[in-house]
Structure 1
Amino acid sequence: MIVSAAPKAKAPSQDRGQRRVDRLLDAAADLILIHGAEGLKMDMVAKQAATSPGSLYQFFPNRAALLTALAERYGAEIEAIAQSNVRRQAAAPPESIEQAARQFLQPFLAFYEANPAYVLLAEASDRVFAGAGYDFGEDDQVALNMRQALQPFVASAHQTRLETVCKLLITTAHATISAAIKLPPVGKLDWLAELDALIIGYLRGLV
């Protein structure tokens, strides 16, 4: 999550207001792909969203508040993916730790590919939030959900290590996927194949 002392966004009180907020956040994400998080300006967002600056400032008092809301939306989506993974695997249990790990991580890869602005925002957070930084606070919840998914396959002697292992693997996966999605298609596939080999090879030692 973002840690910032900036004024917070105003929560919309009606569905129509929420749709306006979503449109503004979508516009900010589109512009980050063009100008980067550091180059984003409030007047750009208003123009991209086809709304007035006054309407924008009604919900977001400044750029930091806007970007904080965008990052929090991404974080909520990531946590929802992790929880959905656990429910899906409970309904249709995987047959091996390899299958469990791949089923758990694949939706995150799809999220990163669908939301490249998330990567750019996270990378620039130390600068656009004046040193407050993006701490990937959702990682702890994701690691907990991953532990639930893998626990049935892990030998009893390694159960105490599993939480630390999951945190390490999630952090590694985030960093690798963030770098891979910027590469040409062939290079991206190579990086993701190596990530898969690294994770699966490590997990086999826990069975």
Structure 2
Amino acid sequence: MASYIREFIARNVRNPQGYFGSWFAKNAFIKSNTPLIENTIPLVGIQPDHVVLEVGFGPGVGLEIALKHVQQGLGKLYGIDISEPMIQAATSRLGSNITNQKVELIQGDVVNLPFEDNMFDRVYHTNCFYFWSDHEKAAKELYRVMKKDSMMVTTMEKERVEDAQRRGFMKYGNPDVDNYVSCVEKAGFSNVKVENKCMEKSDAPFIVIYATAKKE
């Protein structure tokens, strides 16, 4: 029974599927990831006219918070997630903001982004990169769709993720920060910097990785 539960959790934290999988993932993500998301958005530096992409948006909490920064400007938020149940959950959460075209949600994979070159001013993702099927391809795709001098912000609760890995819940993820950083640099990103931070309310530790899309 214990191995079945670990397998169920491992599969559904990577790609929530089915009623029980999506219910578990949505509630688990909201409870565990919201504090990190709340601490991430201020680091992204979103301006009212920015076009912004969130990768792996889950139930849409991050997009809902980021929306406040573009609501009064010409900016727009895009989200891409591999899971259909997460698309549905985020659609329900964001409602009228999708109708008025301030937010657009897309089901897809970060290794094959359905966006034009040089499209985004900011890209961010939280507790996400370790589930990507190919870090090198994903990094190249993100670099491609970002504007010159735009910034990507990656955040991760490293200690919590490593604990989940030890307990068998990260069977389908690769939380190797050094590997991720190496792939980002190979893709062409500059000024790649890793910082250790603590959350404002709980003082829980997390890491943030900054990367700039320097282009000719």
State which structure, 1 or 2, has the greater radius of gyration over its C-alpha atoms.
Answer: 1
Taking CA–CA contacts closer than 8 Å with sequence separation of 6 or more, which of the two structures ends up with the larger relative contact order? 1
Q: TM-score, normalised by structure 1?
A: 0.33
Q: TM-score, normalised by structure 2?
A: 0.32
The structure with the largest helix share of the pair is: 1
